Amino acid sequence: MSKEKLRLGFQGRFEEKVVEVADGDPAPWDPSRKFSIMGARTPRLDGRAKATGAARYSIDVVLPGMLYGKILRSPYPAAVVKSIDLEPARKMPGVKAAMAIAKPGDKLRFAGQEVAAVAADTSERALDAMRAIRVEYEQKPFVVDPVKARNDDAPLVFEAAAETKTSAGDVGNARKPLPKKGNVQGPRASAKGDVEEGFRKADAIVEGTYVTAVQTHSPLETHGIVAKWEGDDLTVWASTQGIFSMRDELAETLGIPASKITVLTEYMGGGFGAKFGAGVYGVTAAKLAKEAGAPVKLFLDRKEQHLAVGNRPSAIQWVKAGATKDGKLTALSLLVHGNGGTNGGTGTSGPVKNVYECANVKTEEYDVFTNAGPSAAFRAPGHPQGSFALEATMDELAAKIGMDPLEFRMKNDPSEIRREEFRIGAEKIGWKDRDARRKSSKDPAIRRGIGVGAAIWYNTGGTGPKATVTIHRDGSAEVVHGVQDLGTGARTMVGIVAAEELGLPLANVAVKIGDTRMPYGPGSGGSTTTPSTAPTIRAAAWQAKKKMAAVLASKWGVPAESVEENGGAFAAKGDGGDAVHKASWREACAALPAEGVSATASRAENHGDAWKRFTAGAQFAEVEVDIETGIVRVRKIVAVHDCGLVVNALTTESQIQGGIIQGVSYALYENRILDNQTGRMVNPNVEQYKIAGALDVPEIDVTVLPVWDGVNNTHSVGIGEPSTVPTAGAIANAVSHAIGARIRRLPITPESVLAAFDAAAAGKGGVA
Amino acid sequence: MKAFTLLPVASLAEASREWVKPKTALKAGGVDLLDRMKEGLDSPDRVVSIAHVPGLASIEPGPPARIGALATLAKIEAHAGIRKYYPALAEAAGGAATPQIRNMATLGGNIAQRPRCWYFRQAEFDCRKKGGDTCFARFGENRFHAIFDTDICCCVHPSATSVALMAYGARLETVSAKGKRSIPLDQFFVLPDEDPTRENGLGPGEIIESVVIPPPASGSRSSYKKLKEKESFDWPLVEACVALTVSGGAIREARVVLGSVSPVPRRALAAEKLLVGSAPSEALFSKAAAAALEGATPLEQNAHKVRLARVMVERALRDALA
C-alpha cells in the first residue's frame, strides 16, 4: 500500500485527496495527464469486420456435422403436463435427439414455457419434428392481467411460495424471501424520516398513478448457444453477457466440472441484461448434443425471445409528493405493484429514493405474479419506470407551486455534477424559450414541448477480473482478458487502455477476449464492465513495463528502481541526475528474452477514500405532438452524462445514443400485449411488437462531463444503464408540456394523447 | 417450415393449371407467403412461382395505365408516369413496409395478400379466418382492428395500393382455366359475412395478370394519407384516399376510400355523394369526413380510429384540393 495525493473532481473543480493505492496497482491518473489515445474518438477494432459481415457472431457459427435444436413450448398459460410422447418426433427424418424438459405432473405457468426439445440435421426438420411431439396438457385457470391478478379470486400462479429464480449475474434484482398473499408478494419497504410529517409541512401536494408496459429485451442476436462435446469436454459458442457465469451455470446444471467447459463469445449482438446464465435453452442444447453425439446449435427465434427469456416488468406506481412553496421537497411516497410474470424483483424505487434530496421518503414495492414470461434484469432495472413516475411528479409539483420545473429540480438536487448537467442541457435545448415554442409550428395541428428527466447510477466495478499483458521483442503487445464485448466496444476499450499505458499505437496492441480459458473477466451487468476491466488492463500493462525496466536494469547493471519509463522510453539516471543508460521502446523490447515479458494483474479494490460520486445524468426531450391525431414525434434529445473518465469518446457516445433510442422506443412504442382470453402474447415478432426504427430516432446531442473520481486507476465508470434511465420520463414530460395535460401511461399512444388533450381542453385537468 | 417443391413456371396459364392441384401455393414476390409458411399457416407441398413469368413486371403509365402484376412496389413508387398521373398510388406504394420489402413485393401480391391480424397470424389461434369458430379480436386485443364490418371477423385489409387503386376506379385483369376476366377493384374484395376465410373473389387457379387504371379526367386531383404510429416500418392505423374531378369551382366526381378500417378497402359512398356538386371548403371537408365514418362500429380498444380516419379524410381532401 502507498498513500498517494491525488487531485480529483470535475470541470476544473478539483480537490486534493489522499488515496491508498494497492501494491502492484498504478495510482489513478492526474488531471494534468496528456493522453495519447484515452478519451479520443477511436473507431472500433472490429468495426470493419462487423460492417462487412466478416465478424462471426455465435449465431453464425456452423460446425461440421452440426445439428439444429428446437424447443417445444407450452401453448397454454397454465397447464399440467399429463404426458409427453417423443416417439413421433424421433421417427421424423433427420432427427438425432429428442428430450423432455418438463415431466408429467409439472405445472406450466406461462405460454412459452419449455416442454420438450429435438435436434435434427436441418433447422426446418427440427421444426417439423418439434411439431410432431405429442403432449397432453390439462389446462388450468390462469391470469395474465396484473390488476386482475390482485383479486382475491384470481387463479394462483404459484400455489405455495414463488419459485422465482435469479439467473447468474442477474444484477440489480437481489431478492430475499418475502411474504406472499394470493399472487402478491411483498412488500420490500424502505422508510426515511416521517412522510406524514413531511406532508404536513408541505404547501403543495400532488399524487398520481403511473402505469408502464412490459418491454422485452429484443437484442438483435437472440439467445442461444452452439454446444460441442469432445469426450467429457464441452465447448460452447454463446451469445452471453457473462462467459464465466454461463460456464458456471452449465457446470452446475449439467453436473460436470467447470474446468471441463469452455465458453466462447467472440462477437455478440446485444443482451441488455437478459443473457447472463445458461438458460433452459443452453442446458437443453448441451444435453441434445450429448445425446446425439454431434454439435447442436440452439438459437431462439424472435417469438421465443419475446415469450420466455426475460423482460422489463411492468409497474403500477402510485406516487405522492409534497413541497414547500419556496421549492423544497418535504415528502416522497411510492407504492409499486410490479408485474414480472412468474418472476419477482419488480421494484422501481431507485430514483425516488436516490435522485432528489428529501428528508422524508417512504417506498413499498410489491411483486404481482401473473401467468406470463418471467422478467429479467433489463438495462437499469426499475429505473426507467421509476424515473417516469418521479419526473412527472416533479413537474406537477413545480406547476402547483408555480415554479419552473428545472429550477425546482436544481433546488432539490444534491449532486453538483447533475446540477451542472442540467445547466448545460438547458442551454442546449433552449429551455428558457420552451413555453414560447409550444405553438411555433406553421402547422396548426402541431404542438411542441420540452421536458426533462434525471438519471442516477451507482456502480464503479470491483475486484475479480484478471488480465495478462505480454510485450514482445518486436515491440508489439497483446492483452488477454476474458471479458465479452456485447456490442458496447469493450474489445476496443481493452486495447485503448493497454495502448495508453504502454505508449503504443493501438494497431500494435492485439486484444484477445471472449474465452473462458483466458484470465477471468467480469460479467457485463450493472454498467460495471469498463470500471472493472479498464483498471485491470492498466495494472497489467503497468506491471509488464516494470518487468521490462527490471530486465534493462539487470542488463545495465543498475538497481531496478533507478530505471524510469517515460512515454515508452527507458532511462537509468546516475547520481548526477543525468541519464547514463537510455533505451527507446524498440531497443528495450529487443533486450527482452525470447518470451518477452508478461504480467498478469488482478483488479485492485476500489479506493474507498476517493472522490466517489453517484453517476449522474440529465436528458432533455423536444417533441412534436399532432393534436388532431395524437401522434408524437421526438425531435431532439439533449443528453448530458458523466461516467468518470471516458476511454473511447466514440463508443461512449454510441452507448448513450443506444440508451436514448431504447428509451424513445420505451416511451412511445414497446408493449408486450397478452390476450386475456388465451393468455398468449399477440405480438411476439418485430412487426407488431413495435421498436423505434431509423426514422423514429431523433437528433441526439450528447455531452459527457469528464469526472476524475479516483475510485480506480483509470477513473472508469460505466454508462450503459444511466443513458436509458431518464429518456422516457423526459419525453412524457415534453408531451405533457406540449398538450398541457399530464401523461401517466407508457407507451404514450395516440389515443392516450387525444384523451388527455380533450380532457384538458374541456377543463378537466387532463390526465391519461 | 415443411419441405416443398418449387415449380417455376413460364406462363400464367401454366401457373393456373398447376395451382389448382392439391396442396399447392402460388408465389410471386413471396413476401407474404413465406411469412405464412414459416408460421405454419400454409404448409404447401408445392409452390408455383410466377416470379419470372416474362412481361408481367412492366408499367405502362398510359393513361390509361396498365401495370403488370409483378411490378414491384419500389418500381411503382419511382415511376415518373405513375407519379404524374396517379400520385396517390405512388404515395401508397412508396409508404408501404420497408425499402427492402418494396423491392420484393409485387402489386398483385400486395392486392391479394392476407391480413396481418395478430390472431390470424399465429397458428395457435384457431380463428374464423382459419375456418375456426371464434374471432379472438372481437372481444380481445383489437386496437388495430376494424371499425366497420366487425361482427364476424374484424381484421383489416392490409393492401395500401388497393386503397389508392380503388379511388382511381381501377380494374383487375385475371387469368384462369376459364379464361380472362376484368373485375372492377371495388367488386373484387369479399367481406367476412360472405366468407371469412378469404378476402377476395378470385376463383380456383385465378391469377391477377395486370391492373388497369382509367385515365384521369381533366381537373382531377387525388391524395393518399395514412397515419402510422412509427415512421419506420409500421402498418397504418388508418388510411384515406380521395380522387376528385373539379370543374367550374365544384367537385364533379369523387371517390373516397378508407383503408385499415374494415376487412376490405372501403368506399365511403356517403362522403362521395356529399362532395359531388359542392364547392370545396373546410366545412365541406369536415362534413364529408364525418359522413365517411358514419355507421362505424368500433370495438372496445379502437374508438379513436374513427376520429383518426376522419382526420385522414379531411387531410386528404384538403391536400387534393389545395
What is the full DSSP assignment across A641-663? EE-BS-S-HHHHHHHHHHHHHHH
Give percent of chain B with pLDDT exceeding 70.
Answer: 100
Q: Does the pLDDT at position A171 exceed 80? A: no
Q: Does the pLDDT at position A763 exceed 90? A: no
CB-nearest to A695 from B231, B303, B304 is B231
Cβ distance B118 to A682 less than 8 Å, yes or no, reads: yes
Q: Does the pLDDT at position A63 exceed 80? A: yes
Assign A318 a pLDDT band (cuts: 50, 70, 90): very high
Strands, E assignment, A669-761? 699-705, 707-708
Q: What mean pLDDT comes out for the span A534-563?
A: 96
Q: What mean pLDDT comes out for the span A741-758?
A: 97
Q: How far is CA A719 from CA A8, A639, A663, A701, in A?
A: 20, 12, 14, 16
Q: At a CB cut-off of 8 Å and minimum separation 6, what does B112 contact?
A: B199, B200, B202, B208
pLDDT at A761: 87
The residues on A that touch B, with CB distances below 8 Å, are: 75, 124, 127-128, 131, 628-631, 633, 668-669, 673, 675-678, 680, 682-684, 687-688, 690, 692-696, 749-751, 754
Assign A49 a pLDDT band (cuts: 50, 70, 90): very high
Q: Does the pLDDT at position A498 exceed 70? A: yes
Q: How long a stretch of residues is chain A?
A: 768
Q: Which residue stretches of chain B are H helix?
A: 12-19, 31-39, 73-78, 80-85, 87-94, 99-104, 107-112, 160-167, 269-275, 282-292, 304-321
Q: Does the pLDDT at position B203 exceed 90? A: yes
CA distance A337 to chain B (A): 23
A112 touches A675 (CB < 8 A): no
Interface test with B, best of A446, A668, A670, A682 (most B CBs within 10 A): A682
Report the alpha-carbon distance of residue A661 to residue A693 in Å, rounded: 9
Q: How far is CA A649 from CA A486, A495, A657, B49, in A?
A: 17, 14, 12, 51
Cβ distance B119 to A682 less than 8 Å, yes or no, reads: yes
Place of cell 524498440: A586
Assign A488 a pLDDT band (cuts: 50, 70, 90): very high
pLDDT at A210: 98
Q: Which residue of B has its CA nearest to A672?
A: B141
Looking at every residue in chain B, the average pLDDT score rounds to 97
Q: Does the pLDDT at position A172 exceed 50? A: no
pLDDT at A176: 64
Contacts of B141 in chain A (CB under 8 A): 673, 675, 682
Least confident span in A157-161, A476-480, B166-170, B243-247: A157-161
pLDDT at A768: 45
State the amino acid at position A550 in one-letter form: A
Q: What mean pLDDT comes out for the span A29-41?
A: 96
Contacts of A667 in chain B (CB under 8 A): none
Q: What mean pLDDT comes out for the span A431-443?
A: 96
Place of cell 495508453: A500
Assign B269 a pLDDT band (cuts: 50, 70, 90): very high
pLDDT, tens digit (0-9, with 9 covering 90-100), for B111-161: 999 999 999 999 999 999 999 999 999 999 999 999 999 999 999 999 999
Give percent of chain B with pLDDT exceeding 90.
Answer: 97
Cβ distance A673 to B136 less than 8 Å, yes or no, reads: no
CB-nearest to A629 from B118, B234, B308 is B308
The DSSP bridge partners found for residue A337 are A316, A366
Assign A349 a pLDDT band (cuts: 50, 70, 90): very high
Cβ distance A124 to B1 less than 8 Å, yes or no, reads: yes
Cβ distance A678 to B308 less than 8 Å, yes or no, reads: no
Report the alpha-carbon distance of residue A370 to residue A316 in Å, rounded: 14
Give percent of chain A with pLDDT exceeding 70.
Answer: 98
Q: What mean pLDDT comes out for the span A215-241?
A: 98
Q: What mean pLDDT comes out for the span A181-202?
A: 97
CA distance B94 to chain A (A): 15
CA distance B180 to chain A (A): 37
Separation of first and last alpha carbons in chain B: 51
Cβ distance B227 to A669 less than 8 Å, yes or no, reads: no
Cβ distance A127 to B232 less than 8 Å, yes or no, reads: no
Cβ distance A687 to B233 less than 8 Å, yes or no, reads: yes
Cell numbers given for A220: 438483435
The three-state secondary structure class of B152 is coil
Q: Which residue stretches of A346-433 are H helix?
A: 350-354, 383-401, 405-412, 416-429
pLDDT at A169: 41
Contacts of A690 in chain B (CB under 8 A): 229-230, 234
Count of CB pairs separated by less than 8 Å, A with B: 78
pLDDT, tens digit (0-9, with 9 covering 90-100), for A571-621: 998 877 788 899 999 999 999 999 999 999 999 999 998 998 999 999 999
| Residue A555, CB-side half-sphere exposure with 13 Å CA sphere | 21
Cβ distance A682 to B141 less than 8 Å, yes or no, reads: yes
CA distance A629 to chain B (A): 6
pLDDT at A175: 57
Least confident span in A159-163, A277-281, A590-594, A746-750: A159-163
Query: Phi, psi at residue B207, to the nearest 5°?
Result: -125, 135
Q: Does the pLDDT at position A765 exceed 90? A: no
pLDDT at A322: 98
Q: Which residue of A has its CA nearest to B139?
A: A677
CA distance B11 to chain A (A): 30
Q: What mean pLDDT comes out for the span A252-277?
A: 97
Q: What mean pLDDT comes out for the span A233-261?
A: 97
pLDDT, tens digit (0-9, with 9 covering 90-100), for A197-222: 999 999 999 999 999 999 999 999 99
Q: Does the pLDDT at position A167 exceed 70? A: no
Q: What mean pLDDT comes out for the span A736-747?
A: 97
Cβ distance A695 to B311 less than 8 Å, yes or no, reads: no
The residues on B that touch A, with CB distances below 8 Å, are: 1-3, 40, 116, 118-119, 122, 124-125, 136, 139-141, 143-144, 227, 229-235, 237, 303-304, 307-308, 311
Q: Which residue of B has its CA nearest to A755?
A: B304
Assign A674 a pLDDT band (cuts: 50, 70, 90): very high
Q: Which of A59, A118, A57 lies closest to A85 in space, CA to CA?
A: A118
Contacts of B2 in chain A (CB under 8 A): 124, 128
What does R_g of chain B's alpha carbons equal in angstroms?
19
pLDDT, tens digit (0-9, with 9 covering 90-100), for B37-77: 999 999 999 999 999 999 999 999 888 999 999 999 999 99
Q: What mean pLDDT comes out for the span A685-710?
A: 97
Looking at every residue in chain A, the average pLDDT score rounds to 96
Secondary structure string (H, E, C) spanning A544-560: HHHHHHHHHHHHHCCCH
Q: Does the pLDDT at position A277 exceed 60? A: yes
Q: What mean pLDDT comes out for the span B261-288?
A: 98
Interface test with A, best of B307, B315, B319 (most A CBs within 10 A): B307
Cell numbers given for A453: 428527466
Assign A165 a pLDDT band (cuts: 50, 70, 90): low
Cβ distance A680 to B40 less than 8 Å, yes or no, reads: no
Assign A173 a pLDDT band (cuts: 50, 70, 90): very low
Q: Which of A471, A625, A624, A488 lies closest to A552 in space, CA to CA?
A: A471
Under DSSP, the state recorded for A59 is G
What does R_g of chain A's alpha carbons equal in angstroms?
28
pLDDT at B177: 93
A642 touches A188 (CB < 8 A): no
Report the alpha-carbon distance of residue A653 to residue A525 in Å, rounded: 19
Cell numbers given for A494: 481493452
